[in-house]
Amino acid sequence: MTVLDEPPPHVAPPNRAMASFRHGRVADILEHYGLILIFGVMIAVFGLWSKTGPVFLSGANLRAIVSNQMVLLVVAVAAMLPLSCGYFDLSPGAGTGTAAIATATIMSRFHQSPALAIICGILVGALIGSVNGLLIAKFKFSAIIVTLAMSTALTGLDNWYTGGGTIGNIPLSMQNFGSLNWLGIPRLAFVVVPLLVLVWYVEDWTPLGRYQRAIRSASRSARLVGIAVDRVLLLSFVSAGALAGIAGVLLCAQSASADATTGPSMLFPALTAVFLGATAIRPGRINTPGTVVGVFFIAFSVSGLTLAGANSWVNDVFDGVALFVAGGLATVFSRQRGARSIL
Amino acid sequence: MPREREQATDEETSLRHADAPNGIVSGLRLRHISKRYGPAQVLHAVSLDVGQGRLHALLGGNGSGKSTLVKILAGVERAEPGGVIRIADHMIDASRVTPHVARENGLHFVHQDPGIIADLSVADNLFIGHGYATGWFFRISSRRLRRMADEIIERFELNMSPSTRAGDLSAGQRTLLAIARALHPTAESERGILVLDEPTASLPERDAGHLLTALRSFAENGHTVVYVTHRLGEVCGIADEVSVLRDGRYVGCVPGATADEQALIPLILGREVSKQIGHAEVTVAAEPEPVLELRGISVGPLKQLDLTVNKGEILGVAGLLGSGRSTLLKVLFGALQPDSGDVCIHGRPVSFRTPRQAMNAGIACVPEERLETALFPELSVRENLLIASTTDFWRRGWLSSRLEQREAARLIEDTRITHGSQDQPISTLSGGNQQKVVLGRWLRREPQILLLDEPTQGVDVGARSELYQLVRDAARGGAAVLLVASDLAELAAVSDRVVVLRDGWMVHEVAAPPIDPAVLASWAYSDEGQSDDSA
């Protein structure tokens, strides 16, 4: 009404510019595609650098990177499912290892068909997930403690059973499936890609995925809107176990053997990929495409740094710093939107 | 900014020169304490005087701002700039109080949950916030600890052993222990100010009596005691003064000698609220058609409850915290199983083991404590609106975002939610809009029975009347509504019929409007004997 009610005209434009930065395009793009931008910059640097470029961007190297990540992709989405409900699962690495050993044992020591071995491997994973899920959903044990205990015990059992060595003598059909290509694409991808699409579909397009996010946001509220919280949790842990079982079968095929160390060593890269992924595509929310980006982000950085002649410790430092930066940015942005941070 | 500074200085001078009431030496004085949470103003320039060595009761209903006031004094919440707290001769800017400042100035607090750790001994609990007496290399010296605990127990007449496990004490003893813990670091000669936030809310009557006697003797020893409560009966006759807060405003102070129900109830209730909400026309059908019937329900505080709710009726449930009103709703919504008794819907007996089963039987429930039990803070407005009917949008194997968007837009319009976009996280909405989302979520399911627990908690007056309009519309559409609200004036204005619960018993029923909130208050607040007199 009076002149005083209007903001002084010379102050308004910077305010508006600031507001449009905070809520507008630029921040939006940074928030959703920040990780992908860093990813792009990294590929450009390694690709253009004379020391790494020629090899880094060669078809053989790209194919090697992609095919080497097939198992890790499955372990990462396995770890992702309980995390979507806000529960940590530290067992998919050890679950993968145990399933791989079970698969290999059935084929090499008991001379059964690969089909039976595959089914048993997946069942072993699902069984591990069921024990986790029952203890956590029904008996309300702490998820971190249960899955840490499960992971530790399984790794011990695996070491005892393999005697610290490897179980080899895998049938050729299985070996071929793990190492050869169809149409220039690793055969494993014909299992892994549909699996990833399935997980993405369940998480983003079915009531189950919505319920998982609701439970992570507020589990008491979830119960009072009729969500069967215990059942969703149990299902998430069992599915995570079954996915780890599948990862174990793929690992056995890919390495044509099974040992007690490869599976467990995948846990931290998998978790890192999930959290890196939660900072991209749909920020602040654990999501499948983001997890895939996270896995490849780590893989490409490792490849580039190795080609550049860096020591292996540089990889870990690089991934750690990337998680700090991406996680920090996602926290800042999600706080601006008034949401609580997950990281 | 300059204006606020000026006001503060004015206040300081007025504080210095003003005489304390009745010539009492002033212990604690508050001037212009205001507090807002987002758009909701919960304290409006509250001023209050408490005399040194007095037992001062602070009364008010839920949402009156009394707990916020305590939190500001304790430095847990910051007041808006411009308020002043004076303790003895010391001025403190109310917007700058920290827990440290409060303690330095002799303010001690016992909060509603006294924070006694059940697994630790009495002695351990006494020293937990103050540091333990330690011996060599930080080792806790149990001998010194025990000796000091003995002194404190004697000084505060606690009548318990220092090695007793705190969990084995009675509720009243635990509260006394919390008081001793708050006060013991002060020297015996020093006169502190003890603030208690509803210490008797969870105490049985006998323990409450002991506690009040103890408080009385603290006051006689020269401590100043501010005692926040909503129980009328216990302040009458024991407090020196009784101050009343309502809707965040200081409404008056009654000397303890003349404080009785007749003097206090009008102050607590006020008269304006009912006008603001406006009484809707009664919609009960001429021939009552029972939808929900309870027979002999007993669980928790509830004792042998019989209740009928009819189609198209809003049945109000009045009662204090702990009277069993929330337990009643939990039983009906399948969140709690009754020990005995039957629930019938349309004459058919039902028993729910999960909320989902209750929902399938046509029941909807808006729980209290919106943030913890109804909202999904990170989820969008749309997801929050549709979360209870997610499967309705499951078409050919996909959740249809087009259908969801259309439905959310319709609900947002119907419930008059004012917001930016469906996609923003619900935590960015005001309390009133959040509650409209929660109500909209349930109204979409067209429930036969609608349970509402404190639906207007943290909701501004304008949104309150809109919320109740939505509830009234649902009732007109045939729903049977069960409404729990602490604000009795509001409850009386909205309900077609009200029952009063006290300690789990249904003690009174007002069958038809006009409903007098004062009658509800005297039944809900009073102790057994007094209500019999007034009946």
Handedness of CA B356, B357, B363, B365 (dihedral sign): negative
Handedness of CA A132, B378, B445, B398 (dihedral sign): negative
A131 Cβ contact list (under 8 Å, min separation 6): A150
pLDDT of residue B74 exceeding 90, the answer is no
What confidence score (pLDDT) does residue B136 get? 60
Q: Among A325, A312, A295, A301, which Cα is nearest to A45's?
A: A301
- Distance between CA A75 and CA B211 in Å, rounded? 59
- Inter-chain CB proximity B425 and A337 less than 8 Å: yes
B458 token code pair? 């943290």
Helices and strands in chain B: count of H runs, count of E runs: 20, 22
What confidence score (pLDDT) does residue A336 get? 60
Q: Which residues pair with B228 in a beta bridge?
A: B58, B197
Write out pLDDT tens, residues A30-78: 777 778 888 888 888 888 887 777 888 888 888 888 888 999 999 999 9
Average pLDDT, chain A: 84
CB of B335 less than 8 A from some CB of A = yes
pLDDT of residue A90 exceeding 90, the answer is yes
- Chain A residues within an 8 Å CB radius of B333: 224
User: CB pairs below 8 Å between A and B: how many?
Assistant: 83
Q: Among B85, B95, B88, which Cα is nearest to B12's?
A: B85
Which of A205, A217, A342 has its CB closest to that of B379?
Answer: A217
What confidence score (pLDDT) does residue B174 get? 83
Residue of A nearest to B352 (CA): A226
What confidence score (pLDDT) does residue A101 get? 95
CA distances to B193, B306, B307, B475, B502 from B343, rounded to whole Å, are 50, 10, 9, 21, 21
What confidence score (pLDDT) does residue A236 get? 96
Which of A207, A217, A223 has its CB closest to that of B394?
Answer: A207
User: What is the arithmetic mean of pLDDT over A208-213?
Assistant: 92
B182 token code pair? 């708050």
Residue A5 neighbours by CB distance under 10 Å: 6
Residue found by looking up tokens 């961007």 in the block: A57
What confidence score (pLDDT) does residue A229 get? 93
A249 token code pair? 């079968």
* DSSP secondary structure of B403-469: HHHHHHHHHHHHTT---S-TTSBGGGS-HHHHHHHHHHHHHTT--SEEEEESTTTT--HHHHHHHHH
- Describe the strand order of the beta sheet including B40-51 as a list of residue ranges: B40-51, B26-37, B84-87, B90-93
- Chain A residues within an 8 Å CB radius of B441: 225
CA torsion angle for A333, A338, B1, B3 (degrees, to 10)?
Answer: 170
Asked whether B364 and B352 are in contact (CB, 8 A), the reply is: no
Residue B337 neighbours by CB distance under 10 Å: 11
Interface test with B, best of A224, A229, A231 (most B CBs within 10 A): A224
User: What is the arithmetic mean of pLDDT over B125-153?
Assistant: 73
A211 token code pair? 């319920």
What confidence score (pLDDT) does residue B531 get? 38
- Distance between CA B116 and CA B129 in Å, rounded? 11
CA distances to A5, A11, A23, A29, B428 from A16, rounded to whole Å, are 17, 9, 10, 18, 20
- According to the per-residue pLDDT averaged within each range, which of A145-154, B7-16, B422-431 is highest? A145-154
Asked whether B122 and B164 are in contact (CB, 8 A), the reply is: yes
Read off φ and ψ for residue B450, nearest 5 degrees. Answer: -115, 120
Q: Which pTM does this prediction carry?
A: 0.73
Write out pLDDT tens, residues B272-314: 444 445 555 555 556 788 899 999 888 888 888 899 999 889 9
User: What is the arithmetic mean of pLDDT over B513-534?
Assistant: 66
Average pLDDT, chain B: 80
Read off φ and ψ for residue B307, nearest 5 degrees. Answer: -155, 140
Give the three-state DSSP class for A211. Answer: helix
Helices and strands in chain A: count of H runs, count of E runs: 16, 2
Distance in Å from the first CA to the final CA of chain A: 47
CB of B333 less than 8 A from some CB of A = yes
CB of B90 less than 8 A from some CB of A = no
DSSP state of A209: H
**Omega within 30 of 0 (cis) for the link into A194:** no
Residue of B nearest to A341 (CA): B378
Measured between CA atoms, how close is A201 to chain B, in angstroms? 8
pLDDT class for B5, splitting at 50, 70, 90? very low
Q: Among B312, B277, B323, which Cα is nearest to B515's?
A: B277
pLDDT of residue A5 exceeding 70, the answer is no
User: What is the arithmetic mean of pLDDT over B240-263?
Assistant: 83
- Inter-chain CB proximity A222 and B376 less than 8 Å: yes
Residue B263 neighbours by CB distance under 10 Å: 15
Give the three-state DSSP class for B229. Answer: strand
Read off φ and ψ for residue B163, nearest 5 degrees. Answer: -90, -5
> What interface predicted TM-score (ipTM) does this complex get?
0.80
CB of B62 less than 8 A from some CB of A = no
- Chain B residues within an 8 Å CB radius of A221: 372-376
What confidence score (pLDDT) does residue B204 get? 66
Residue A76 neighbours by CB distance under 10 Å: 31
Measured between CA atoms, how close is B120 to chain A, in angstroms? 23
Q: Give the DSSP H or E segment for A338.
A: none
pLDDT class for B14, splitting at 50, 70, 90? very low
What confidence score (pLDDT) does residue B530 get? 40
- Distance between CA B194 and CA B434 in Å, rounded? 37
Give the three-state DSSP class for B20. Answer: coil
Read off φ and ψ for residue B355, nearest 5 degrees. Answer: -55, -35
- Distance between CA A115 and CA B38 in Å, rounded? 62
Measured between CA atoms, how close is A336 to chain B, in angstroms? 10
SS (H, E, C) B63-110: CCCHHHHHHHHHCCCCCCCCCEEEECCEEEEHHHCCHHHHHHCCEEEE
SS (H, E, C) A53-77: HHHHCCHHHHHHHHHHCHHHHHHHH
What confidence score (pLDDT) does residue A198 get? 96
Asked whether A98 and A263 are in contact (CB, 8 A), the reply is: yes
